Amino acid sequence: MADATMDMNQLIKDLREKTGAGIMDCKKALTESKGVFDDALTALRKKGLADAAKKSTRATKEGLVAFCVVGNAGAIIELNCETDFVARTSEFQQLASQLSQKAASGELKTLEQAKPIVDAAVGKLGENMGMRRMDRFELKGPGLVAGYVHLGGKKGALIEVSSSGTEAAKSEVLAGLAKELLLQIVGFSPRYLTREEVPASEIEKEKEIYTALLRKEGKPEASIPNIVEGKINKLFYQSFCLLEQLSVRDNKTPVTHLIKEAGNKLGGPVAVTRFARYQLGE
């Protein structure tokens, strides 16, 4: 019974950090959802008690996000430890750098392959550690792979941009575009590249939430579908799809305009192929 109480208390704490909702609201939502965290989160959002875009500001783990680019490939990793003290040591930072280099070169292909390397450092640093995730991008044609880390390794991103030729791939224009898009990704937290990548189930879930909120506000039933579509287009897609966002530069210029502008300067098409965004503990 004590363990169940502790588990529920932790769920309430996590739900409060994620949503900013009150203790009793979180407890009620978890009870009604039989302890299923995601269902409780959805229930709070339907009641207007949680912000869809809000993220917990407290990471669940300490550690570092690191990236490395080797030739036509790059990788980003998240390496976790127990305390910020260890995360700031040169030994831990060197380990993160080593793992990202091995991932970028293709030597490290799975998280399991990283375990012996990490385990060897556990005894020296005196804490449990683990590589939580990794992504590797390798060019299939002209373009570049670039990365960026922010806040001392708390956030980071990796991007692959394609170009029309090798000269364009080596240009300062393409490098500058990649840098600006990396700042965009880290700063504005897109989850997807395009709206076509968003699972239909996620859109349906968002529509249900917006519909419930509009009914709570007393909006006429006949007007709700159109309002919901507007919110999906403006609030959801513009928040979570990179190519729907406005530039971090001025929050006015569409990201697609920046990409088109770079293509015009280079005399050929430029496109974002894919990206990965990491935030420690997410």
CATH of the domain at 212: 1.10.286
Domain assignment present for residue 11? The answer is: yes
Residues 246, 47: Cα–Cα separation, whole Å? 29
pLDDT score, position 60: 39
What is the CATH classification number for the domain harbouring 12?
A: 1.10.8.10
Domains identified in the chain, total number: 2
Residue 235 lies in a domain: yes
Residue 59 has a pLDDT of 39
Q: Is residue 213 part of a domain?
A: yes
Give the other-Cβ count within 10 Å of 157's Cβ: 26
Domain annotation covers residue 24: yes
Give residue 135's Cα distance to chain centre: 12
DSSP code at position 247: P
pLDDT the model gives residue 262: 97
In-domain check, residue 38: yes
pLDDT value for 179:
97
Predicted confidence at residue 23, as pLDDT, reads 84
The type of residue at 200 is A
Q: Which of 253, 111, 106 is nearest to 188 (CA)?
A: 253
Contact 182, 109 (CB under 8 A): no
Q: Decide if 226 is inside a domain.
A: yes
Q: For residue 36, is it within any domain?
A: yes
- What pLDDT is recorded for position 228? 93
CA atoms within 13 A on the CB side of 1: 0
What is the model's pLDDT at position 52?
Answer: 42
- pTM summary value: 0.77
Does residue 187 sit within a domain? no
pLDDT value for 92: 95
Mean pLDDT by 10 residues, the chain (282 residues): 63 83 86 90 78 40 94 97 92 97 97 92 85 97 97 94 96 98 96 96 92 91 92 90 94 96 97 97 84
Find the domain containing 205 and state its range. Answer: 199-240
